[in-house]
Amino acid sequence: MSLIITDECINCDVCEPVCPNQAIYQGEMIYEIHRHKCTECVGHFNVPQCVEICPVNCIIKDTTNPETEEELREKYKMLCEVSE
């Protein structure tokens, strides 16, 4: 699954720079995560970096977008090909 940022976001700006896929962006009211770019850091780190650094624990799994670890790894590979 990709991750989502809940309404508890305080716009502290710490999550955006740690995202290796540049999936986090400033939305209209709070930060948001582009689900097509989010791999939960699979391929980069063992744990999602935004979840690790968020001071208010407002980043959770998007249950409306279920993805297996294999699917996340494939997304990671696709994103790496595009960026090269």
Asked whether the beta carbons of 31 and 17 are under 8 A apart, the reply is: no
Instruction: Find how far residue 7's CA is from the centre of its chain.
Output: 16
Residue 79's φ and ψ, nearest 5 degrees, are: -65, -35
Is residue 83's pLDDT more than 60? no
pLDDT at 12 exceeding the cut of 80: yes
Structure tokens at 61: 């799994």
Round to whole Å and give the CA distance between 5 and 61. Answer: 9
- What total of structural domains would you count in the chain? 1
What's the pLDDT at 55? 98
CATH for 7: 3.30.70.20
Confidence class for position 1, pLDDT limits 50, 70, 90: confident
Structural domain boundaries, residue 29 = 3-83
**Mean pLDDT in the chain?**
94
Q: What is the pLDDT of residues 20-37, one digit of tens each?
A: 999 999 999 999 999 999
